[in-house]
Amino acid sequence: MKIELYDTTLRDGAQGEGVNFSLEDKVMIARRLDEMGFDYVEGGYPLSNPKDAEFFQRLAAEPLKYSKVCAFGMTRRKGVAPADDPGMKALVESQAPVITIVGKTSDFHVHEVLRVSLEENLAMIGETVEYFVKLGRQVVYDAEHFFDGWKANPEYAAQTIQAASQAGASHIVMCDTNGGSMPEEVVRIVKEAAAKVTTPLGIHTHNDCDLAVANSLAAVDAGAVQVQGTINGLGERCGNADLVSVTANLAIKKQGYEVLERGELEHLTELSRYVYEIANMSYRINQPFVGPSAFAHKGGMHVHAVNRVAESYEHIAPESVGNERRVLVSELSGRSNIIAMTTKHDIAEDKQLMDSILREVVDKENKGYQFEAAEASFDLLVKRAAGSFTPHFELVKFHTSVESRGGQPVTEATVKLLVGDEVRHEVAEGDGPVNALDAALRKALNGLFPNLRGMHLVDYKVRVINSEAATAASVRVVIESRDSDGEVWGTVGVDENVIQASWDALVDSIEYKLCKDEGNPAS
Amino acid sequence: MKIELYDTTLRDGAQGEGVNFSLEDKVMIARRLDEMGFDYVEGGYPLSNPKDAEFFQRLAAEPLKYSKVCAFGMTRRKGVAPADDPGMKALVESQAPVITIVGKTSDFHVHEVLRVSLEENLAMIGETVEYFVKLGRQVVYDAEHFFDGWKANPEYAAQTIQAASQAGASHIVMCDTNGGSMPEEVVRIVKEAAAKVTTPLGIHTHNDCDLAVANSLAAVDAGAVQVQGTINGLGERCGNADLVSVTANLAIKKQGYEVLERGELEHLTELSRYVYEIANMSYRINQPFVGPSAFAHKGGMHVHAVNRVAESYEHIAPESVGNERRVLVSELSGRSNIIAMTTKHDIAEDKQLMDSILREVVDKENKGYQFEAAEASFDLLVKRAAGSFTPHFELVKFHTSVESRGGQPVTEATVKLLVGDEVRHEVAEGDGPVNALDAALRKALNGLFPNLRGMHLVDYKVRVINSEAATAASVRVVIESRDSDGEVWGTVGVDENVIQASWDALVDSIEYKLCKDEGNPAS
């Protein structure tokens, strides 16, 4: 059976803390969702702000190819005819082919929040839906607080969706607005609702109980034919149902449902990361199906088994959702992890080289290195062992100092390098000793390697390794860098001295970038 | 019905990408779980590394009060008697009262991964469980790949758990090792398994389909009486079932189950954040129940309604899990935590003082401070606000420098202090700038405060707060210190400059110790 996917990333997703889309962002995401084959794309609430109104004009001028564009609004105000209501006018002007109307299901909300009579609420629902149907629009009816309302007063809740159904809504969408319902409640109530209306049902859940995806799937099993959600589960509080997980589960894991029939499932990981990038948010590293860790193996026993038979510790093939298997090098892992990580270097035949890499990795791990978040340092290690690495510069000396007299500290770093035959000696200030070192290092190199200008550090983490001895113990510094191509790589340094460890990670990061740009990526 | 909570944060959680616990971290988390009333705390895999073995010795020397400590291992090797197997010896030596044994359920894995006969696998399970039962240990049996194995060959899968049951296992735990099962499969198979053994059943799920919590709850509804999971859902790939969500759902949302009966549910948010801080990981902002966004309201309509009737857009009271409502226009975070944290200072009556503490905390949190793992800094903040704090020394200036000429870097720090009327100006070397500062500071203070000699730093963590600007962004330094009484305390510093932030945390740590020893603890 075909299950329709209704994306509300641009409307309900934008309610999430820290989520802000510009007009351009919204248009780009809508076009990407269209390419992927999502059935509906809800673009916003035209009454609420001019940006959303403008969005609909942009899409009216250059329509989507596949997805139906939906504009969102509330039922008409109390005692106002639809034609006179500013919210209705904004929806008409949006030119969106689908109008999604949210209305109240719960008598508690009708009384306490809306403050109208139960009869007036039914009239508000029916007249609003009918108004747009008569204008030739498709109307999706979102029944707010559906499950809570049904639990409290099932007779009245049924009347609200019957009002929408009789007025010509194409779908009745049951919303678990507060995200508080359990799957068994969802199943029971969806079945009860299906007995009250013949209109196709949809489901819209929130993740407040960590059950949004489970509740969406349970509703589909109970008869819903449309699922509303957001990419990556963006949304207010704990977010909406993650349409990425819903889609993958319906397409791959469950039997008898069709979604994204045009074979776009292999772009799911790309879509997820695209939305994160546009929203300027970090990936959720362990996100089901599409996270960078979703098919990453760390335990040595598991890695050993995965190498033998992939499906032994993977529930699906990573490629089916556009993701990939990764093997993490760590203290818990054995030899098989390292062998797996070097396969892309195509050196497995060279047993002597493999052994020298293994010895080097074990030696470094004993000193406290971790390569799981530092694949760039691992790649350089392999190149060094293979003799295919020539450093672009050599350290003569560096010096950093920080001085405070109680106010803002003063920080300075000097760096003296040998670059080819040339000596470069530079000084810079910074917000801290590592920032100052980074600045001096770039000052010394930027002239010769202008591509370093497009590279910047995106994260810097420090961890004491042997915490028994605290500040006198070794520290591990992990640096993440990104360049203008959008590639992100990690490097690591370990030393008793945090400045030395930071320096080593900085140098690896720059060397990796320089190797990569020579058409000679470390890998 | 009582549902047992089995925490495996320290073992399966530590398999998560980027998760690394020191020995001290593990001991602290175990004690926190014990205070919270978790029934079982799985500490590690003693054969796999010396740190885990040492962990069990620490807990044997100073046992937990409530939680049962579990040591994890595999069934004996093929063709080896349990008494001769190094894995079994490591488990015996752990002295853990509960031994958790994982064994193979799936004939596919027995053949392809373990490479033994089906009969030998049954003998390995039975003999291993029996061995520990005869030694007087409680044995929890984890049936790996339980659901996949049952789907492929239910007869053989049943034999494996019957072998464990007949050998005296206290629980049979059904593991969805690859995280690929749907809730309806879990329900069906749990019921089928319950017909095959009388031993109480447990459930252990992974989140690869975004369904780990739903599958855990479904298994409990179908008859499981123990849930295994990790705090914050840490764990390999997409993580384990999040015990935070499982606990909250069982305690508050579902009917008829009892967990954490001692009323510790209001500390769930604190626990979640404590584990993130110890693991040096960022919070998942929209995490169900405990995330900073879980009860944050952004949509104007929602905020309006929430102000009128709280439950209109909240499925539970935030305080019931130790969280709090936030309205995203006014960033008032941590409020209920703060009130909870100040209760021990017995100042709740002084509303003016409370308000000034609240303002100070909000201000500091906006700058990036987090007090969850830095109660000593919080105690000093309260004392300062109350006017009951006199610093033992004042900074005139400090200076640190690090210089490298390619070999071992040379690090030096000078500190000039005013102690009473006396000026102390000292210099020291160190392994890094913070270590050198710490040494110079102690050189300046030790003569006057000899009790500082018994105090040392046990951990030092640095994290970038606003990672957009990387090394130029603010950093948060958290220092853990311990004295000869065995008390451990945390302090925090935040600054753009890592040296300044470290200095602030160091000074707080020493002031806390000095206050404490004056018979005048900050609390």
Q: In chain A, which residues have their Cβ closer than 8 Å to the Cβ of B240?
A: none
The pLDDT assigned to A329 comes to: 59
Q: Is B390 exposed, middle or buried (0-12, 13-18, 19+ CB in 10 A)?
A: exposed
B168 to chain A nearest CA, in Å?
27
Alpha-carbon span B344 to B375, nearest angstrom: 12
The pLDDT assigned to A133 comes to: 98
Size of chain A in residues: 523
> What residues contact residue B273 under an 8 Å CB cut-off, 6+ apart?
B283, B290, B370, B372
| Interface contact A435-B24, CB threshold 8 A | no
Positive/negative CA dihedral, A250, A252, A258, A259: positive
Torsion angle of the four alpha carbons B21, B24, B26, B32, in this order, in degrees rounded to the nearest 10: -130
Residue A258, phi then psi, degrees to nearest 5: -120, 130
CB of B425 less than 8 A from some CB of A: no
Listed as ranges, residues in chain B with pLDDT below 70 are 298-311, 327-349, 366, 372, 466-472, 519-523
> What residues contact residue B289 under an 8 Å CB cut-off, 6+ apart?
A208, A209, A210, B244, B245, B248, B268, B269, B321, B323
**DSSP reduced 3-state for B75:** coil
CB of A482 less than 8 A from some CB of B: no
Alpha-carbon span B258 to B256, nearest angstrom: 7
B499 to chain A nearest CA, in Å?
7
In a mutational test of the A interface, the residue from B29, B286, B411 whose CB has the highest number of chain A CBs within 10 Å is: B286
By the 8 A CB rule, do A411 and A433 touch?
yes
Alpha-carbon span B206 to B240, nearest angstrom: 4
Please report how the helices B118-134 and B86-93 are oriented relative to each other, as an axis angle in degrees rounded to 10: 30
CB of A221 less than 8 A from some CB of B: yes
3-state helix, strand, coil in chain B (%, to 5): 45, 20, 35
The pLDDT assigned to B158 comes to: 98
Least Cα distance to B498 among B462, B467, B468, B465 occurs for: B462
Cβ pairs A/B, distance under 8 A: 352
The two three-digit tokens of residue B112, written as one number: 């392809």
Listed as ranges, residues in chain A with pLDDT below 50 are 331-333, 467-472, 520-523
Counts for chain B of helices (H) and strands (E), in that order: 17, 16
Size of chain B in residues: 523
Alpha-carbon span B346 to B365, nearest angstrom: 23
Q: What Rg value do the Cα atoms of chain A yield, rounded? A: 28
Least Cα distance to A161 among A140, A148, A179, A143 occurs for: A143
By the 8 A CB rule, do B243 and B216 touch?
no
Least Cα distance to B318 among B340, B349, B350 occurs for: B340
In a mutational test of the A interface, the residue from B232, B315, B323, B412 whose CB has the highest number of chain A CBs within 10 Å is: B315
Positive/negative CA dihedral, A264, A267, A269, A275: negative
Cα end-to-end span (Å), chain A? 45
The pLDDT assigned to B471 comes to: 47
Beta-bridged to residue A149, according to DSSP, are none
A311 to chain B nearest CA, in Å?
9
The pLDDT assigned to A16 comes to: 86
Alpha-carbon span A56 to A95, nearest angstrom: 7
> What residues contact residue A261 under an 8 Å CB cut-off, 6+ apart?
A2, A37
| Interface contact B498-A434, CB threshold 8 A | yes
Alpha-carbon span A219 to A174, nearest angstrom: 9
**DSSP reduced 3-state for B229:** strand
Q: Which residue in chain A is spatially nearest to B405 when comparing CA positions?
A: A397
| Interface contact B209-A245, CB threshold 8 A | yes
Alpha-carbon span A508 to A504, nearest angstrom: 6
DSSP string, B467-501: GGGGGGS-EEEEEEEE-TT--EEEEEEEESSHHHH
Least Cα distance to A505 among A449, A450, A463 occurs for: A463
- Residues 360 through 399 of chain B touching chain A, CB cutoff 8 Å: 395-399
| Interface contact A182-B297, CB threshold 8 A | no
CB of B432 less than 8 A from some CB of A: yes
Least Cα distance to A370 among A490, A460, A282 occurs for: A490
Q: Which residue in chain B is spatially nearest to A462 when comparing CA positions?
A: B462
H or E element: which one contains A248?
helix A243-248
By the 8 A CB rule, do B346 and B334 touch?
no
Alpha-carbon span A376 to A489, nearest angstrom: 6
By the 8 A CB rule, do A307 and A336 touch?
yes
Beta-bridged to residue B139, according to DSSP, are B99
| Interface contact B460-A468, CB threshold 8 A | no
By the 8 A CB rule, do B79 and B127 touch?
no
Tokens 């309302």 correspond to A149
| Interface contact A467-B14, CB threshold 8 A | no
* Residue B449: CB atoms within 10 Å: 17
